[in-house]
Structure formats: C-alpha cells, structure tokens
Amino acid sequence: MVYGGPGRYVQGPGELSRQGRFLSWLGCSAYVLFDQGTEDRLCKQIVDGFLGEDLSEPFFKIYDGPCSEISDADLLSVANAVFRNERNMANEQAKVTKQKLVQLMCEA
C-alpha cells in the first residue's frame, strides 16, 4: 500500500472555515471534490474559509469514483476546463495551482 499525505495536517473545531489561510499559497481559486452527501454539510464552511482570506469562491464537484491513475486523468481534464474558464487567475498561476491540485488529490 502506498500512502501520500499533505505537508501539513490541520484538524479541530472550526478549522474547515479557516482553511483559506493554509491554502492561499496554492493560488487564488480552488476546485473542491466532495463525496455524495458531504457537500450539504461542508459547503458553507469551505466557502467562508476561502472568502475570509480574499480568495475566489471555490468550484465544487461531487465525485464518488476511485482514486486511481485513470480517475486522476479524468479529474485533471475537469480541472483543466475549470481553470481555463477562470478569468481572474494568471496563466502561470493556474498551471502551478492545477499541478498542486492533482498532487493533493493523489495524496488524499
């Protein structure tokens, strides 16, 4: 079994609504994947965490698929489309953020 994890792990009451301070170094926008049923419970906290740090409201998608190379390629194509349509982000920043997004999804 191979495990990859984030460089920093933060948890505790209210931390989800303060996540923008930990994620802002990745860029000014985010693409958030949820499993079915999670979005309703966590969406507002996540949006608050981003807007509290002057980041763009994240894009959300429900994803109940496996974490594999094939699904990573599918998610990368969706991320490409999202970031291609994001006009407020510089091209170079979009590339770096997209790479970090794929890396974090693989590590999760």
- The pLDDT, as a whole number, for residue 29 is 73
Does the global pTM surpass 0.85? no
> How high is the pLDDT of residue 96?
60
Highest mean pLDDT: which range of 10-14, 26-30, 80-84: 10-14
Three-state SS for 73? helix
Residue 44 reports pLDDT greater than 60 = yes
pLDDT confidence of residue 107 = 66
Alpha-carbon distance of 46 to 91, in angstroms, equals 25
Long-range contacts of 11-17, Cβ-Cβ distance < 8 Å, separation of 24 or more: 16/42, 16/45, 16/46, 16/49, 17/45, 17/46, 17/48, 17/49, 17/52
